[in-house]
């Protein structure tokens, strides 16, 4: 989604959770990609915090794809875009919730079941048991929803734009942070991913969501160095484009979906070309073809929908007779 965050979770039971919706200019991409990955409305949309690079693409997603529930930290943010988003949720009658702890059981974090043993545990915020973090570099960032996705023995940690204060508080609380996959905090800014935090997470894979050639210098050499020091394999959307990570409950497989974003003027790191799509379908049509099928050659890019994996192409479609994909 360029300079911002957006991650889609699909559970083995078919539940879908969208974590953030990128900046406003990402909405075309999200409206193109999400219907290929999600059937019906999203089960849950999580806005980690009310900044534009996380909520900008959400209004059109909520209208075009739909959502059953919406979760955000409940942090007051006097911005027009956030106010408009809340008004849209009300208009669409999408229930808005905050991760509120039961004061009688303060040690019991909010957990969201995703079916077949998969779940999301909200590690921050922890109101009303813990107050929002205040007087930080950015209180909106510091009170990002931090969640740990569990699938068997695989854990994925989503950190939003969490600040050093958030990381420190989670360490003090003894929150379960260990995760094979870390969605690196704050686009790889030097303010996130402190060494003590990474020592606890011990990520094998670290995913950085950032825009190619962004003005913030994300990801920063400092954050990259700290990730390297804990032995994490770093994946960057600014270089690779869309990424898919698949868990079998024991291991995580990484597959770039691409395409790699165009290099910023003035160069940048050269990238291997994205893998060619294997399958394609006429948008809204009942069949799918091999991507190189003659039948598909006549279609315009807007008419065709490409898939790297057969199971995605085959969802709701049957194989075409002409190319037998």
Q: Could you say which of 51, 148, 151, 290 contacts Zn ion (CB under 5 A)?
A: 51
Using CB under 5 A as the binding criterion, the count of chain residues that bind Zn ion stands at: 4
Subset of 125-164 contacting Zn ion (CB under 5 A): 141, 161
User: Which residue, 47 or 101, has its beta carbon nearer to Zn ion?
Assistant: 47
| 131-169 CB burial, b ≥16 within 10 A, e <16 | ebbeebebbbbbbbbbbbbbbeebbbbbbbbbbbbbbeb
Residue corresponding to tokens 């600014």: 238
Minimum distance of Zn ion from residue 192's CB (angstroms): 10
Question: Considering Cα of 198, then 175, then 185, then 252, what sign does the dihedral take?
Answer: positive
Site for Zn ion in 53-82 (CB under 5 A): 53
State which residue, 4 or 203, has the beta carbon closest to Zn ion: 4
Shortest approach of Zn ion to residue 190 CB, angstroms?
14
Stretch that binds Zn ion, among 19-27, 52-60, 296-304, 317-325 (CB under 5 A): 52-60
Compare residues 161 and 305 and give the one whose CB is closer to Zn ion: 161
Would you say 77 or 141 has its CB closer to Zn ion?
141
Residue with tokens 């073809």: 289
CA distance 114 to 10: 9
Distance, C-alpha 58 to centroid of its chain = 12
Q: Which is nearer to Zn ion, 56 or 203 (CB)?
A: 56
CB of 252 to Zn ion, least distance (A): 24
Query: What is the x/- site pattern for Zn ion, positions 169-188, by CB under 5 A?
Result: --------------------
Residue 115 tokens, joined:
């079916």
Alpha helices for the chain (secondary structure H): 27-37, 52-55, 58-64, 80-91, 139-142, 164-173, 195-201, 221-229, 237-240, 294-297, 310-313
For Zn ion, which is the closer residue by CB, 235 or 281?
A: 235
CB of residue 187 vs Zn ion: minimum separation in angstroms?
Answer: 6
Binding flag, residue 242, Zn ion (CB under 5 A): no
Specify the DSSP class assigned to residue 67.
B
Q: Which residues bind Zn ion (CB under 5 A)?
A: 51, 53, 141, 161
């Amino acid at each position: 989604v360029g300079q911002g965050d957006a991650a889609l979770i699909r559970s083995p039971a078919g539940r879908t959770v969208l974590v953030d919706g990128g900046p406003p200019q990402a909405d075309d991409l999200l409206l193109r990609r999400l219907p290929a990955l999600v059937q019906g409305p999203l089960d849950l949309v999580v806005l980690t915090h009310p900044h534009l690079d996380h909520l900008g693409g959400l209004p059109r997603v909520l209208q075009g794809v739909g959502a059953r529930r919406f979760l955000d930290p409940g942090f007051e943010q006097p911005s027009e875009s956030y106010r408009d988003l809340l008004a849209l949720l009300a208009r669409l009658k999408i229930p808005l919730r905050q991760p509120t702890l039961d004061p009688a059981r303060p040690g019991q974090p909010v957990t969201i079941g995703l079916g077949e043993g998969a779940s999301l545990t909200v590690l921050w915020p922890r109101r009303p048991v813990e107050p929002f973090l205040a007087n930080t570099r950015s209180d909106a960032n510091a009170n990002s929803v931090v969640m740990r996705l569990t699938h068997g023995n695989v854990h994925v940690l989503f950190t939003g734009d969490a600040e050093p204060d958030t990381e420190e508080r989670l360490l003090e609380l003894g929150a379960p942070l260990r995760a094979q996959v870390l969605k690196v905090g704050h686009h790889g800014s030097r303010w996130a991913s402190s060494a003590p935090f990474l020592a606890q997470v011990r990520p094998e894979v670290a995913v950085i969501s950032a825009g190619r050639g962004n003005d913030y210098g994300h990801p920063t050499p400092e954050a990259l160095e700290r990730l390297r020091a804990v032995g994490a394999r770093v994946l960057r959307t600014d270089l690779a484009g869309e990424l898919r990570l698949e868990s079998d409950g024991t291991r995580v497989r990484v597959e770039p979906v691409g395409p790699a974003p165009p290099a910023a003027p003035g160069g940048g790191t050269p990238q291997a070309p994205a893998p060619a799509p294997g399958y394609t379908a006429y948008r809204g049509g009942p069949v799918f073809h091999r991507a190189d099928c003659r039948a598909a050659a006549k279609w315009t890019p807007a008419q065709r929908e490409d898939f790297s994996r057969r199971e995605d192409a085959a969802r709701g479609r049957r194989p075409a007779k002409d190319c037998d994909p």
